[in-house]
């Protein structure tokens, strides 16, 4: 493997950002490229919001709200208060004032026809982030949730407004415009020494990335090993709706289900020590402690995964 390892990571959500922080704190630090889910993106109050990109940027910049895992620590909410009190607007999506600053800039950039890729790179640099952060595609590909009792709804309507309580029947990874894999993402996958799939929600955070036309083919063509880390630990998700969604889709809540879901995409799977052992034809597996409770554990999961992958490549 190259001296300064190039790692491309498919990632989304708060769970994914924990691994990202671990990877970014490795010594020596690998050359990191994060390919981020934008299926959660939406327009709200006239602004373009990219929650997974922002969560990752705020986490790597060390400014994320540690309790929530998204938004900026100690942010104020004066604008939301104004909208609520003076104009009786339902402020169900919590946008802090400093967070709003980023949405204003992004919206202006989008109107000026700056690409999301270029805008994100500029902001990441400004925040002092050395890793490369790339949106999965330029076109809008909003994820839509089909629920049993409330029909179809947008991702944030399901996730935030209704607190992921509606029962899911189907998830649709949509495209309003022709979508394709951006050139920097292609390059990162082609040059990577290792491709990782973060322990993000497979159905809500990773599937939208895999749904970008051409993405699966690029992953198949990449010569690097492709390794996913389980989001299921001890028969449950650490946080968020992963286990609930699996049950609603009629799937067993297990790491094996996740590994099967990534069949044809990955050749290695990092399972957790707490899960029952399983094996699948053609899939290398290892069992590690993957719980990322503090920075030390995040770094350990990143390091252990790399050491394992290095071992079976050399
Ligand atoms: N998540 C919530 O549960 N409630 C919110 O009000 C909320 C606001 C929000 C604002 C900006 C941002 O970047 C993220 C925000 N999130 C919020 C998190 C986010 O919507 C979800 O965690 C992801 O989309 C799922 O990965």
- And the tokens for 142? 């909003």
pLDDT in tens, the chain (314 residues): 555 799 999 999 999 999 999 999 999 999 999 999 999 999 999 999 999 999 999 999 999 999 999 999 999 999 999 999 999 999 999 999 999 999 999 999 999 999 999 999 999 999 999 999 999 999 999 999 999 999 999 999 999 999 999 999 999 998 766 899 999 999 999 999 999 999 999 999 999 999 999 999 999 999 999 999 999 999 888 888 999 999 999 999 999 999 999 999 999 999 999 999 999 999 999 999 999 999 999 999 999 999 999 887 65
Query: CA 16, CA 69: separation in Å to the nearest integer?
Result: 11
Evaluate: CB of 200 within 6 angstroms of ligand 1: no
- And the tokens for 290? 């993957």
Q: Do 164 and 158 touch, CB atoms closer than 8 A?
A: yes
- What's the gap in Å between 51 CA and the centre of ligand 1? 6
Residue closest to 300 by CA, chosen among 13, 39, 23: 23
- What's the gap in Å between 8 CA and the centre of ligand 1? 24
pTM of the model: 0.97
- What's the gap in Å between 70 CA and the centre of ligand 1? 6
Evaluate: CB of 93 within 6 angstroms of ligand 1: yes
Evaluate: CB of 15 within 6 angstroms of ligand 1: no
Strand partners, 45: none
Q: Do 197 and 206 touch, CB atoms closer than 8 A?
A: yes
Residues in contact with 143: Cβ distance below 8 Å, sequence separation at least 6, in sequence order = 39, 40, 155, 171, 172, 173, 174, 204, 208
- Whole-angstrom distance between the N-terminal and C-terminal Cα of the chain? 7
Evaluate: CB of 94 within 6 angstroms of ligand 1: yes
Task: Tell whether the torsion through CA atoms of 180, 182, 188 and 191 is positive or negative.
Answer: positive
In this predicted structure, what is the pLDDT of residue 4? 73
In 108-162 the beta strands, taken as DSSP E runs, fall at: 132-135, 143-147, 151-154
Evaluate: CB of 52 within 6 angstroms of ligand 1: yes
């Amino acid at each position: 493997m190259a001296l300064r390892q190039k790692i491309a990571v498919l990632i989304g959500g708060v769970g994914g950002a924990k691994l990202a922080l671990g990877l970014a704190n490795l010594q020596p630090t690998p050359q990191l490229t994060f390919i981020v889910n934008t299926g959660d993106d939406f327009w709200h109050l006239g602004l373009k919001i990219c929650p997974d990109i922002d969560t990752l940027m705020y986490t790597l910049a060390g400014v994320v709200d540690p309790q929530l895992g998204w938004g900026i620590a100690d942010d104020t909410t004066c604008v939301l208060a104004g909208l609520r009190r003076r104009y009786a607007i339902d402020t169900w999506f919590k946008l802090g004032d400093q967070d709003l600053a980023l949405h204003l800039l992004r919206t202006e950039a989008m109107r000026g026809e700056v690409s999301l890729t270029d805008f994100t790179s500029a902001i990441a640099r400004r925040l002092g982030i050395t890793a490369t952060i790339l949106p999965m595609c330029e076109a809008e590909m909003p994820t839509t949730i089909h629920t049993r009792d409330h029909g179809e709804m947008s991702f944030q309507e399901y996730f935030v407004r209704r607190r992921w309580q509606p029962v899911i029947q189907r998830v649709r990874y949509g495209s309003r415009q022709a979508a394709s894999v951006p050139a920097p993402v292609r390059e990162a996958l082609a040059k990577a020494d290792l491709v990782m799939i973060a322990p993000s929600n497979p159905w809500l955070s990773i599937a939208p990335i895999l749904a970008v036309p051409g993405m699966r083919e690029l992953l198949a063509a990449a010569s690097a090993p492709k390794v996913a880390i389980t989001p299921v630990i001890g028969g449950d998700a650490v946080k968020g709706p992963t286990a609930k969604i699996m049950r609603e889709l009629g799937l067993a809540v297990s790491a094996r289900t996740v590994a099967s879901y990534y069949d044809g995409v990955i050749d290695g799977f990092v399972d957790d020590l707490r899960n029952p052992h399983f094996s699948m034809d053609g899939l290398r597996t290892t069992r590690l402690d993957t719980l990322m409770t503090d920075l030390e554990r995040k770094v350990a999961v990143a390091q252990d995964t790399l050491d394992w992958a290095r071992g079976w490549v050399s």
